[in-house]
Amino acid sequence: MNNQNFHMSPEEFRKQGKLMIDWIADYYENIEKYPVLSQVQPGDIKTNLPQSAPTESEPMEQIMADVNTILMPGITHWQSPNFFAYFPANASGPSILGDLLSSGLGVQGMLWATSPACTELETRVLDWLAEILQLPEKFKSTSTGGAVIQDTASSAALSAVLAARERKTNFKTNDSGNPGNLVAYVSSQTHSSVEKAVKIAGIGKDNLRQIGVNENLAMRADLLEEAIKNDLQTGLIPFFVCATVGSTSTNAIDPLNEIGQICEKYQLWMHIDAAMSGTAAICPEYRHILNGVELADSFSFNPHKWMFTNFDCNCFFIADRSVLIKTLSILPEYLKNQATESGAVIDYRDWHIQLGRRFRSLKLWFVIRHYGVNGLRYHIQEHIRIAQQFAEWVRTSAEFDLVAPAPLNLVCFAHQKGNDFNKKLLETINGTGKMYFTHSVINGKYVLRMCIGQTNTKEEHVSDAWKTIQKTANELIISE
Ligand SMILES: *Cc1c(COP(=O)(O)O)cnc(C)c1O
């Protein structure tokens, strides 16, 4: 029992908080001892949890004991250096502490007035990022645009689709509903979140065109233009294109310049989804992946994937903030205040779907200040270096092939023995718990993906992984 009114006293919080920090530090020290992919079966965790909530207060010690015994077996360890699946969601000490401080302050930053620091730190840190990424001036708050931290790239894509829709229809769709003839364009490799955004925005999946890709799995600009022309001819209204920098499946990079020129010619909104790979552009030698971003209307990337910032943290940059604000702004009586009415402040609740918002810029600010831009660059360069090393091992191996270009930190590869074998190989390796890979299918080919970006992944983890992959493949062949 705590004290009489059941709240946790500051004394107790101090004690438990220190134990929690110790718990987390121990976790990171021992993280490689856990199976990376949780090995439980569906329902295993729930069976061990009581059907009903406790009527009486339970001590923290007991809650943490249940974390250890009941929950930990059901954790897939995204922060393990042997996590090579999907994409990273890399965390770091400064980020965890920033997030903790955000929880401690408990601020809800929907308006400038509800915590000026929450708004102004965010604006400043995002302008820093615009500079680090060498984004054009228009994406800065000091120009026509600006940026906002959203939860995910999915929400950013939805915001972009909505702003594009309103710009195209002179802000009439918000009033009278969807005209039904707007058309959006993605490639066959675009992340599914854009299809979801198009559905939510009322555009309709039938009005979403999937443009074909070239041999590098990048969108073909000639096919995009052809599709736009076809739609115009039948009286439809093309309004939105999503270009991807670093597709989820294979890290393909769409030709931003060509797509941007087409968008300019036909007056479509160009959104760039650089969820994971955008981070690479903080390194001068990889900045070229964003060449053409000056033609975009919006751009987003996730520091919560590859920039050491705990989930969730998406940075959404927009060239003309007035369009976004006009699209999403609402001002009921109970939110009216002097600062808003003066027009001198940013109210970020007008920059995304939801009203309330966490103080997410704190963790990003902690991360950027802790590492410094040079520290961030060092780790990104290292991740890319060891990914390229892995790609080289695959390229020179007699049994495995590279299945797509590996421009950055993601390597798609397959054993020559075909789809069933590769599937079995993946399942066998993941079943050991030593490391975790996921797959993709490229032109009918089942491929394994080696995605390198966890904070503590080093060359030794990747070379161990390569040894395990080769050894497991040989064992499978012998046992056949
Ligand atoms: C991961 C990913 C997304 C989705 O990210 P969320 O932030 O989880 O919505 C979108 N696009 C690309 C290219 C991705 O890799």
CATH number of the domain to which 261 belongs: 3.40.640.10
Output the pLDDT for position 31.
Answer: 97
Kindly give the distance from the C-alpha atom of residue 23 to the centroid of ligand 1, in angstroms, as a whole number.
30
Q: Is residue 330 part of a domain?
A: yes
Question: Ligand 1, residues 193, 277, 412: which to mutate, most atoms within 8 A of Cβ?
Answer: 193
Helix or strand holding residue 47 (H, E):
helix 44-47
Residue 336 has pLDDT above 90, yes or no: no
Q: Is residue 134 part of a domain?
A: yes
Phi, psi dihedrals of residue 253, rounded to the nearest 5°? -120, 115
- Interatomic CA distance for residues 9 and 350, integer angstroms: 37
Calculate the alpha carbon distances from 50 to 39, 45, 236 in Å.
22, 10, 56
What is the rounded average pLDDT of the residues 235-253? Answer: 97
Average pLDDT along the chain: 96
What is the rounded average pLDDT of the residues 187-211? Answer: 97
Atom of ligand 1 lying closest to residue 155 CA: 9
Residue 169 has pLDDT above 70, yes or no: yes
* Residue among 106, 51, 70 nearest 359 (CA): 106
Atom of ligand 1 lying closest to residue 191 CA: 11
Q: Is residue 385 part of a domain?
A: no
Cβ atoms of residues 296 and 272 within 8 Å? yes
SS3 content of the chain, % helix, strand, coil (to 5): 50, 15, 35
Output the pLDDT for position 349.
Answer: 95
Output the pLDDT for position 341.
Answer: 80
- 137 vs 479 pLDDT, higher one: 137
Global pTM value: 0.96
Residue 106 has pLDDT above 80, yes or no: yes
Pairing of strands 400-402, 410-415: antiparallel
Query: Following DSSP, what letter does each residue of 143-193 receive, concatenated?
Result: TT-EEEEES-HHHHHHHHHHHHHHHHTTT-HHHH---S-EEEEEETTS-HH
- Interatomic CA distance for residues 326 and 409, integer angstroms: 38
Residue whose CA lies nearest to ligand 1 atom number 15: 248
Residue whose CA lies nearest to ligand 1 atom number 12: 275
Helix or strand holding residue 451 (H, E):
strand 445-451
Output the pLDDT for position 6.
Answer: 87
Q: How many domains does the chain have?
A: 1
Kindly give the distance from the C-alpha atom of residue 305 to the centroid of ligand 1, in angstroms, as a whole number.
9
**CA 284 to centroid of chain Cα atoms:** 22
Q: In what order do the strands lie in the sheet with 438-442?
A: 400-402, 410-415, 445-451, 438-442
Q: Is residue 296 part of a domain?
A: yes
What is the rounded average pLDDT of the residues 430-459? Answer: 96
- Helices (H) and strands (E) counted in the chain, each on its own, are 16, 11
Question: Ligand 1, residues 152, 217, 219, 440: which to mutate, most atoms within 8 A of Cβ?
Answer: 152
Q: Is residue 353 part of a domain?
A: yes
Residue 51 has pLDDT above 80, yes or no: yes
Output the pLDDT for position 2.
Answer: 46
Q: Extract the tokens encoding 108.
A: 């809800």
Q: Which domain holds residue 161?
A: 98-366
What is the rounded average pLDDT of the residues 77-106? Answer: 98
Instruction: Give the DSSP letter of residue 36.
Output: S
Cβ atoms of residues 90 and 453 within 8 Å? yes
Q: Is residue 106 part of a domain?
A: yes
Residue whose CA lies nearest to ligand 1 atom number 5: 153
Q: Is residue 451 part of a domain?
A: no
Question: Ligand 1, residues 150, 217, 219, 273: which to mutate, most atoms within 8 A of Cβ?
Answer: 273
| Confidence bin at 78 (pLDDT 50/70/90) | very high
- Interatomic CA distance for residues 317 and 322, integer angstroms: 13
- Interatomic CA distance for residues 470 and 277, integer angstroms: 28
Kindly give the distance from the C-alpha atom of residue 245 to the centroid of ligand 1, in angstroms, as a whole number.
11
| Confidence bin at 330 (pLDDT 50/70/90) | confident
Q: Is 180 left (phi over 0), alpha (psi -120 to 50) or beta?
A: left
Q: Is residue 274 part of a domain?
A: yes
Residue 117 has pLDDT above 90, yes or no: yes
Question: Ligand 1, residues 86, 90, 154: which to mutate, most atoms within 8 A of Cβ?
Answer: 154
Kindly give the distance from the C-alpha atom of residue 86 to the centroid of ligand 1, in angstroms, as a whole number.
10
What is the rounded average pLDDT of the residues 445-469? Answer: 98
Atom of ligand 1 lying closest to residue 274 CA: 13
What is the rounded average pLDDT of the residues 10-19? Answer: 97
Residues with CB under 6 A from ligand 1: 87, 152-154, 191, 193, 244, 246-248, 273, 275-276, 302, 314
pLDDT tens sequence across 337-393: 888 888 889 999 999 999 999 999 999 999 999 999 999 999 999 999 999 999 999
Residue whose CA lies nearest to ligand 1 atom number 8: 152
Residue 3 has pLDDT above 80, yes or no: no
Atom of ligand 1 lying closest to residue 156 CA: 9
Output the pLDDT for position 331.
Answer: 81
Question: What share of the chain in percent tops pLDDT 70?
Answer: 99
Instruction: Give the DSSP letter of residue 75.
Output: -
What is the rounded average pLDDT of the residues 216-242? Answer: 98
| Confidence bin at 4 (pLDDT 50/70/90) | low
Q: Extract the tokens encoding 34.
A: 């856990």
